[in-house]
Chains A and B, each alone.
Chain A
Amino acid sequence: MKDALHVLEKRDLPVRKTIRRARWFVAAFRDFLGTVEDETKRSFILNEAHLMSAFTAWFRAFEAQKYKAKEHRLEYVTFAAGLMLRELVRYAPVSVAPVASPSDQTVPAKFWPEGYLYVTFCLAVREAVIEQDFSLVKDTTPELADLRTWWSFRENTQEDIDMAVGFFERFAGETPNWSMPGLFLPKDDETRLPNSRQ
């Protein structure tokens, strides 16, 4: 899916910077939406004002915790993409056009098309940054196709929007921080946390 983000990769800047510019974020999201429409055979309706609200909220959240990323850049890429998912779910910039007959809901893309779009977009951004900055290829996990995880993802984020970050980490094959998913805790810091609280 990362290939659908070519608009981010044509620039002079690295992807981790282009995605933080509103013009490229919007352009990349629009392109990606078209790709997912082709894949799912469903039509999406994009509310650009909501998309921009998601972008600005994500940008603020990203900047607020960036200082902790200095020695944990790779982990922060996944966390930041999780924050992006959180804001996309919160502001819900996309709605799916109704279809005449109910479709098969046994696959995530049909079960929750908007959620599928948000998750795959954020995974693609993460993958593009990791590949460019760290020369790594990170495969997604079987969780991405597991409908039970998607049920849980949808229900839990309705109750606590921060859970979107944890679910994203799970989709990305990382170990989620379920206790405080909206807080960036690098793994070594996370293990020290109980002591530091004393």
Chain B
Amino acid sequence: MSVPHPDPRELELPLRDLVRGLRQKTSLPRAILAPALAFLPGPLRDALKDMGQAGRSSWPASLKGRAPERTVILRSAAALRGADASALDIAAAAHFCTRVLLDAVQKSDLLVSETMLAMCWHDAEPQPFRAAALLHALFDRAPFGVAPGLVQSGDDLSSDERLRICVAVMVWLLADHQEDGISEAELVKIAGWLAADCLAACQSHWRDQQKLESVLLATAERI
């Protein structure tokens, strides 16, 4: 019997990540999933079956990687320059950006954890150079990659590619987000290319947060 389950957007971050991770695997053949499903409590099993039957198109934007509301992006961008911001905003904005960048390198099946992204922001928020500190946290905490304990079809990212994506997230967040007819997904793509160009500079200034932040700001200005 199927039981009602909440809109994934209304879940707390860790549960949302859990559902997101499980949802990624519901596209696997039923024969592979069936033994694992048998171990789950009934309501969760039913919910997963429902999700498996639903098309991806019925999933809410926050779980699929569509751009968050513009105000969320603007608040996140301001937070990197010292304004107050909710970790939820940063996580939503960074999640969207990471998702687009992973799709661009055909790594759509990697999991992006909003919970980890929020924790990264908690690491960075008290520090004087927030953008550089957030970049460190993104790289150290690895909020995207192969979900632990799950079967993965492809390889994880190389260290350089992981760093490029982290840099791109920062460069995109720091960019000008005025409404000018260019979509946020397009700006993310550009950030991804420019991140490759400034990767060496980021690596050489990795231990000097002031200089690292200068590199990120200068690159963001070029978007």
Q: Identify the A interface with B (CB < 8 A).
A: 11, 20-23, 26-27, 48-49, 52-53, 56, 59
| Chain A residues whose C-beta falls within 8 Å of the C-beta of B221 in the assembled complex | 21
Residues of B contacting A52 with CB < 8 Å? 190, 193-194
A-B contact pairs, 18 of them (CB 8 A): A20-B222, A21-B221, A21-B222, A22-B194, A22-B222, A22-B223, A23-B182, A23-B187, A23-B223, A26-B190, A27-B182, A48-B189, A49-B193, A52-B190, A52-B194, A53-B193, A56-B193, A56-B222
Bound CA span A22–B218, Å: 13
State whether the Cβ of B12 lies closer than 8 Å to any Cβ in chain A.
no
Q: Which of B137-195 contact A (CB under 8 A)?
A: 180, 182, 186-187, 189-190, 193-194
Interface size class of B (residues with CB under 8 A): 10 to 19
- Minimum CB–CB distance from A189 to chain B (whole Å) comes to 29
Across the interface, which residues of A come within 8 angstroms of B186, CB to CB?
Answer: 23
Q: Mark B42-85, 1 if CB is under 8 A from A, else 0.
A: 00000000000000000000000000000000000000000000
**CA distance in complex: A59, B223 (Å):** 12
Chain A contacts of B187 at CB under 8 A?
A: 23
- C-alpha gap A57/B190 in the complex (Å): 14
Q: Which of B184-214 contact A (CB under 8 A)?
A: 186-187, 189-190, 193-194, 197
Count of A-B contacts judged by CB separation below 8 Å: 30
**For the complex, what is the distance from the CA of A27 to the CA of B190, rounded to whole Å?**
11
Q: Mark B120-147, 1 if CB is under 8 A from A, else 0.
A: 0000000000000000000000000000
Inter-chain CA distance A49–B180, complex, in Å, is: 22
Determine the distance from Cα of A49 to Cα of B189 in the docked complex, in whole angstroms: 9
Contact with B180, one of A11, A20, A26, A59 (Cβ below 8 angstroms): A11
- CB distance B194 to A23 under 8 Å? no
Measured in the bound complex, the distance between the Cα atoms of B197 and A20 in whole Å is 15
B residues at A contact (CB < 8 Å): 180, 182, 186-187, 189-190, 193-194, 197, 221-223
**In the bound complex, how far is the Cα of B72 from the Cα of A114, in angstroms?**
41
Give the residues in chain B near A21, CB-CB below 8 Å. 221-223
Within the assembled complex, what's the spacing in Å between the Cα atoms of A140 and B71? 46
**In the complex, chain A residues whose CB is within 8 Å of the CB of B222:** 20-22, 56, 59
Q: Which residue of B lies closest to A59 (CB)?
A: B222
Residues of B within 8 A of A48 (CB): 189, 193
Bound CA–CA A49/B193 (angstroms) = 7
Residues of B within 8 A of A53 (CB): 193
Chain B residues with CB below 8 A from A26, complex form: 190
Instruction: Please report the C-alpha to C-alpha distance between residue A122 and residue B33 in the assembled complex, in whole angstroms.
Output: 57
Least CB distance from B185 to A in Å reads 12
Which residue of chain B has the shortest Cβ distance to A26 in the bound complex?
Answer: B190
Residue picked from A21, A22, A27, A56, most chain B C-beta under 10 Å:
A22
Beyond known contacts A23-B182, A53-B193: 16 more, CB 8 A cutoff: A21-B221, A21-B223, A22-B190, A22-B193, A22-B194, A23-B180, A23-B186, A23-B190, A49-B193, A52-B190, A52-B193, A52-B194, A56-B194, A56-B197, A56-B222, A59-B222
Please, which residues of chain B bring their CB within 8 A of the CB of A20?
Answer: 222
Assembled-state Cα–Cα distance A53/B194 (Å)? 9
In the assembled complex, the CB of B70 is this many whole angstroms from the nearest CB of chain A, namely 16
A174→B11 CA distance, assembly (Å): 65
Which residues of A have CB within 8 Å of B182?
Answer: 23, 27
Q: Which residues of A contact B223 (CB under 8 A)?
A: 21-23
Of all chain B residues, the one with the shortest Cβ separation from A11 is B180
Bound Cα distance A20, B219 (Å): 12
Q: Which residue of B has the minimal Cβ distance to A60?
A: B197
